[in-house]
Amino acid sequence: DSGVTQTPKHLITATGQRVTLRCSPRSGDLSVYWYQQSLDQGLQFLIQYYNGEERAKGNILERFSAQQFPDLHSELNLSSLELGDSALYFCASSPSGLALNEQYFGPGTRLTVT
Amino acid sequence: AQTVTQSQPEMSVQEAETVTLSCTYDTSENNYYLFWYKQPPSRQMILVIRQEAYKQQNATENRFSVNFQKAAKSFSLKISDSQLGDTAMYFCAFSNYQLIWGAGTKLIIKP
C-alpha cells in the first residue's frame, strides 16, 4: 500500500459525458501527478500540482483539467469524453515539487467510455 | 530532449534464472535520479529500486540490483533467482525536473 488513494476504482460512462477522478496523496506529500495509461501502453504524464499550484504540464488535452485543493487532495476533470479516453488514470505523489524524489502511485481509476 | 529507451519489448525466463533488463537514457544533466518501476497484472505501479546519479555504488534491493554506467548512460536492472511473482511490466524512468518514462519491458517468468 503506497498511501495514495484514488476514487473511484472503476468508472463506466458514455461519450460526451464529464467525470471527476479524485486523488489523496500520501501524508506529508505536497506534489500530485496525474498520468494516463492506455491498454498495453506506457505512462503519459498529464499534469503536476505542487502545494496547490500547477507546476508542470504534459500531454493534457484541453478537455481535461485538474486542481489541487488546500487539503492537498487533487481532482482530474475529464469532459466531452471520447472512446479514446478509455484508460487507466494514475495519481502519484511525492514530498517535494521536484521530480528528483520517487513518486508513489495510487491504485488507479479505470475509465471506460462506451 | 531527455529520453529513456528500453530496447526489449518482451522477455521471458525460467523461474530461478537471472534476467537483466536494459535501459539507456539521454541527458546533458549531471544531477539526476533513475528508477525502475514494476507493474504486475494488477496494474499497480510499484517502485522497485532507485539510483542517484552522484553515487557510484550500484543500488541493491534484495534480489534486485542495478548496473549503473553513467558515462554510457546505461541503467540496467538485474533480477536474481526470478520468481513467478516477478512477472510484470518493468518501466525505467529518469528524473531531473520531470519524470521521463521508458516504454516498458514485459517480463514473463515461466514455471
Cis before A8 (ω within 30): yes
Name every chain B residue with its beta carbon within 8 A of the beta carbon of A90: 45
CA separation for the pair A85, B26 (Å, rounded): 30
Q: Where are the alpha helices (DSSP H) in B1-111?
A: none
For chain B, the domains span 3-110
A4-60, pLDDT tens digit by residue?
999 999 999 999 999 999 999 999 999 999 999 987 778 888 999 999 999 989 889
Q: One-letter amino acid identity for A28?
A: G
Look at A99 and B99 and tell me if their CB atoms are within 8 Å: yes
Mean pLDDT of A69-98: 93
pLDDT of residue A96: 76
Residue A99 has pLDDT above 70, yes or no: no
Whether chain B has a CB inside 8 Å of the CB on A12: the answer is no
3-state secondary structure of A59: coil
B43, B91, B102 member nearest A108 (Cβ):
B43
* Sheet strands side by side (includes A64-68): A5-7, A19-24, A74-78, A64-68
Shortest distance between the Cα of A18 and any Cα of chain B, in A, equals 24
Superfamily, domain B3-110: Immunoglobulins (2.60.40.10)
pLDDT at A98 (0 to 100)? 67
Q: Is B22's pLDDT higher than 80?
A: yes
For cell 525502475, name the residue.
Answer: B36
Nearest to A27 by CA among A69, A76, A71: A71
